[in-house]
């Protein structure tokens, strides 16, 4: 597919303020993240490949740019995106199986999917909801099923950049989490992949390593320093290879998270806000409850965001600060674990990365 055709699904940040949903933007983004979490858990239970999960999650975000969350519940849409992705990604699953797994994730008590037969009223209701929502989803997507993911870009980066396994695992998991945000409808995959890779390298290198600003500046801060002949180049050169590989121009570096002094006048002339991929990721993580619920995110939250990014409104706030009533549940009640937990196991490396890499402990 041409770049032009793919870019028709990329929206400016301002478009998020004009979605059909009636709730506040922070509430909508919170519910989108919950919907993608449900989608991931459903897809993982069906043992779907990463490509299917990424495709379904992208469709999920595209759908809610055209239809409201009040009219179509996130769990119905998530299940429908999963079912459609099993067709397009050649990993077919029967509708009854998707509906059965869907049903098991809604009640407050986990049950064995085998307890629900094809004649089960609950499963029939889930099947009907998926089929009816599929018609709307196809219309929303304009029957355009093509999706590119940052994971494909990361696989290429891993091969070309000779990156350490922990960095690969962190970048892979961060790319999964990026779907809990609207990044996939705001930036092309190479921008998201680079942001995830740079952030992963920073987490791996530890708190005393170069900042995100230094790593993605237009000119490598360490380019004038001699490289020890018996050692690999120190950071930020470890992440510079990614920036240089894609030959990003200055405007693209801004979108990743950096800022070049030559863009000062350009920044002043901006008429619409521009999202910062790294800043949005860190803002999303920062809104999570790391004190008690998600302590493993502490290393990520501790990373200072880029300091010279293009100004934009804050998109994520802690769930307790969202000034909106809970969305009504019309399809059986919320899932007991419908929260923003850890990503599914990485199919790249077989497991999610350790939240505390050894290198950061020694930094």
3-state secondary structure 16-69: HHHCCCCCCHHHHHHHHHHHHHHHHHHHHHCCCCHHHHHHHHHHHHHHCCCCCC
3 state SS of 87: helix
**What does the angle CA 37 – CA 46 – CA 344 come to, to the nearest 5 degrees?**
40
pLDDT of residue 287: 92
pLDDT of residue 184: 94
pLDDT of residue 190: 87
pLDDT of residue 268: 35
| Residue scoring higher pLDDT (168 or 255) | 168
The percentage of residues in the chain with a pLDDT greater than 70, rounded to a whole number, is 66
Flag whether pLDDT at 205 surpasses 70. Answer: yes
Question: Confidence band (pLDDT; 50, 70, 90) for 129?
Answer: very high
> Average pLDDT of the chain?
76
pLDDT of residue 203: 92
Residue-wise pLDDT tens digits, 343-361: 444 444 333 444 444 444 4
Flag whether pLDDT at 332 surpasses 70. Answer: no
Flag whether pLDDT at 81 surpasses 90. Answer: yes
Closest by Cα among 327, 265, 341, 331 to 296 = 341
Please count the residues of the chain.
363
Average pLDDT, integer, range 26-50? 94
CA distance 327 to 34: 12
Helices (H), the chain: 3-7, 25-45, 50-63, 74-88, 95-104, 121-141, 150-161, 165-178, 189-205, 212-215, 237-246, 250-256, 264-268, 277-286, 298-301, 358-361
Residue-wise pLDDT tens digits, 280-326: 999 999 999 888 888 889 999 999 888 766 677 788 988 888 864 54
pLDDT of residue 244: 64
How deeply is 97 buried, as exposed, middle or buried, from its count of CB atoms within 10 A (0-12, 13-18, 19+)? middle
Count CA atoms within 13 Å of residue 201 on its CB side. Answer: 29
Going from the C-alpha of 156 to that of each of 98, 149, 256, the distances in angstroms are 32, 12, 18
Question: Confidence band (pLDDT; 50, 70, 90) for 16?
Answer: very high
Only one residue has tokens 């993608």, namely 36
Whether the CB-CB separation of 77 and 133 falls below 8 Å is answered with yes
pLDDT of residue 271: 25
Average pLDDT, integer, range 242-258? 57
């Amino acid at each position: 597919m041409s770049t032009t055709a793919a870019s028709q699904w990329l929206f400016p940040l301002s478009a998020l303020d004009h979605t059909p949903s009636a709730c506040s933007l922070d509430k909508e983004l919170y519910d989108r993240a919950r919907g993608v979490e449900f989608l991931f858990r459903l897809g993982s239970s069906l043992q779907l490949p990463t490509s299917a999960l990424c495709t379904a999650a992208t469709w999920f975000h595209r759908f809610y740019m055209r239809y409201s969350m009040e009219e179509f519940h996130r769990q119905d849409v998530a299940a429908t995106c999963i079912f459609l992705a099993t067709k397009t990604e050649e990993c077919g699953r029967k509708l009854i199986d998707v509906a059965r797994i869907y049903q098991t994730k809604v009640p407050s008590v986990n049950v064995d999917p085998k307890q629900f037969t094809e004649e089960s009223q609950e499963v029939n209701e889930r099947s009907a909801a998926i089929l009816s929502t599929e018609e709307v989803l196809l219309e929303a997507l304009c029957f355009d099923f093509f999706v590119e993911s940052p994971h494909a870009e990361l696989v290429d980066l891993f091969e070309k950049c000779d990156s350490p396994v922990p960095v690969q695992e962190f970048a892979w998991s961060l790319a999964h989490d990026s779907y809990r945000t609207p990044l996939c409808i705001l930036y092309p995959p190479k921008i998201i992949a680079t942001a995830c890779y740079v952030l992963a390298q920073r987490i791996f290198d530890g708190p005393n390593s170069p900042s995100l600003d230094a790593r993605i500046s237009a000119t490598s801060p360490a380019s004038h320093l001699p490289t020890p002949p018996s050692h690999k180049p120190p950071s930020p050169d470890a992440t510079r290879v990614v920036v240089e590989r894609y030959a990003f121009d200055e405007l693209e570096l801004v979108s990743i998270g950096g800022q070049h002094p030559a863009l000062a006048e350009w920044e002043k002339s901006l008429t619409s806000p521009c999202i910062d991929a790294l800043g949005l990721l860190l803002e999303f993580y920062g809104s999570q409850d790391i004190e008690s619920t998600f302590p493993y995110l502490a290393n990520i939250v501790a990373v200072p965001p880029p300091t010279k990014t293009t100004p934009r409104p804050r998109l994520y706030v802690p769930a307790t600060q969202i000034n909106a009533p809970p969305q009504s549940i019309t399809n059986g009640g919320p899932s007991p674990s419908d929260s923003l937990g850890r990503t599914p196991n990485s199919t790249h490396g077989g497991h999610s990365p350790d939240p505390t890499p050894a290198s950061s402990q020694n930094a």
